[in-house]
């Protein structure tokens, strides 16, 4: 722009939009809702997003197709692979994922440091097996949140698991009474999560490890909504010392094809309406509250 003396006036550099890193653990069931979360952050709250995955060599065709459809404001980055050949051949998938996350921490630190130098990085969001990433976020003074792709009953169980581990010695399938969690239906011990049904297996120790670290998060974004779990939602919204706030931002499901049959489209429109994901709804407002916190981070 001319300043009246025939010389172009210097332009004021535009600030970088707030930037969030999402780090899903492997599996389309983890990746799809995180991608939908990224789309909402970009479309409604003017963020830019990087989705970091653990290992490019393990990417499926479905993952590649999903990533190729993303807008420019959502970038992707795969961390280098790490050795896992020392794990037992019968290691559970949750163990493999947890070990891969732990061994990838130096690579994550490098990736976040590079992003921090070029973008307005305001938060790291991991999912349920990614709690060891909190260590890197803490070292970089980066707020860390946990995206929970399952329901509130399961989250309540994970919150309670360290106490359950410390106060019982039997296998959970042998508990004499159902487990009673506030706001949830009683759960017979035999119906608890499969990875915690054998205390002697490494996967049990990993799940308890993650459960103990959950309270290091600054907040939880949960892929659920009030209408489907009203009592659990009410309980988890109440402040509790030492427990991070819980935000219901779901259900985050892959956008449907407008050419899909009318019955399926109507079902998904109902789900969006009751969950409050549309502007002004409860899910929309919950995500807006988190986005507002992130925007004031720096």
Q: CA separation (Å) from 53 to 63, 132, 173, 246, 267? A: 10, 15, 35, 24, 31
Percentage of the chain modeled with pLDDT above 90: 75
pLDDT tens digits, one per residue of 270-297: 555 554 556 657 888 999 999 999 998 7
Is residue 120, in this structure, part of any structural domain at all?
yes
Catalytic residue list = 30, 127
Is residue 263, in this structure, part of any structural domain at all?
yes
pLDDT of residue 182: 96
Is residue 89, in this structure, part of any structural domain at all?
yes
Is residue 13, in this structure, part of any structural domain at all?
no
Whole-structure pTM over 0.75, yes or no?
Answer: yes
Classify the C-alpha dihedral 146-148-152-155 as positive or negative: negative
pLDDT tens digits, one per residue of 116-155: 999 999 999 999 999 999 999 999 999 999 999 999 999 9
Name the strands in the sheet holding 48-53, side by side, starting at the edge strand that comes first in the sequence. 74-78, 48-53, 18-23, 120-127, 144-148, 220-222, 246-248
**258 pLDDT tier (thresholds 50, 70, 90):** very low
Is residue 130, in this structure, part of any structural domain at all?
yes
Question: Residue 78's domain is classified under what CATH number?
Answer: 3.40.50.2000
Q: Is the predicted pLDDT of residue 10 greater than 60, yes or no?
A: no
Say how many domains are in the chain.
1
- The residue segments making up the domain with residue 78 are 18-295
Is residue 10, in this structure, part of any structural domain at all?
no
Is residue 239, in this structure, part of any structural domain at all?
yes
Alpha helix (H) residue ranges in the chain:
28-45, 61-68, 93-103, 105-118, 133-139, 152-167, 202-213, 230-237, 262-275, 282-295
pLDDT tens digits, one per residue of 187-231: 999 999 999 999 999 999 999 999 999 999 999 999 999 999 999
């Amino acid at each position: 722009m001319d300043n009246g003396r025939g010389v172009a006036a210097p332009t004021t550099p535009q600030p970088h939009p707030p930037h969030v890193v999402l780090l899903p653990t492997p599996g389309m069931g983890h990746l799809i809702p995180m991608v939908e979360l990224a789309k909402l952050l970009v479309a409604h709250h003017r963020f830019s997003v990087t989705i970091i995955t653990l290992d490019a060599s393990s990417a499926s065709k479905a993952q590649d197709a999903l990533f190729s459809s993303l807008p420019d404001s959502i970038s992707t980055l795969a961390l280098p692979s790490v050795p896992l050949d020392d794990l037992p051949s019968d290691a559970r998938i949750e163990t493999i994922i947890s070990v891969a996350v732990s061994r990838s921490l130096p690579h994550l630190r490098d990736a976040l440091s590079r992003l921090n130098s070029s973008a307005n990085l305001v938060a790291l969001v991991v999912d349920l097996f990614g709690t060891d990433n909190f260590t890197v976020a803490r070292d970089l003074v980066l707020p860390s949140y946990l995206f929970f792709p399952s329901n509130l009953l399961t989250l309540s169980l994970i919150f309670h698991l360290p106490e359950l581990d410390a106060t019982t010695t039997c296998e959970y399938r042998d508990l004499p009474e159902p487990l009673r969690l506030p706001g949830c239906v009683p759960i017979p011990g035999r119906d608890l999560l499969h990875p915690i049904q054998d205390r002697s297996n490494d996967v049990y120790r990993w799940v308890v490890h993650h459960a103990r670290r959950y309270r290091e998060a600054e907040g939880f974004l949960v892929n659920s909504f009030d209408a489907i779990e009203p009592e659990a939602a009410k309980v988890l919204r109440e402040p509790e010392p030492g427990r991070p706030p819980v935000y219901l931002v779901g259900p985050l499901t892959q956008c449907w094809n407008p050419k899909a049959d009318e019955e399926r489209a109507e079902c998904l429109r109902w789900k969006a309406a009751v969950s409050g994901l549309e502007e002004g709804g409860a899910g929309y407002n919950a995500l807006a509250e988190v986005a507002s916190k992130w925007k004031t981070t720096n």
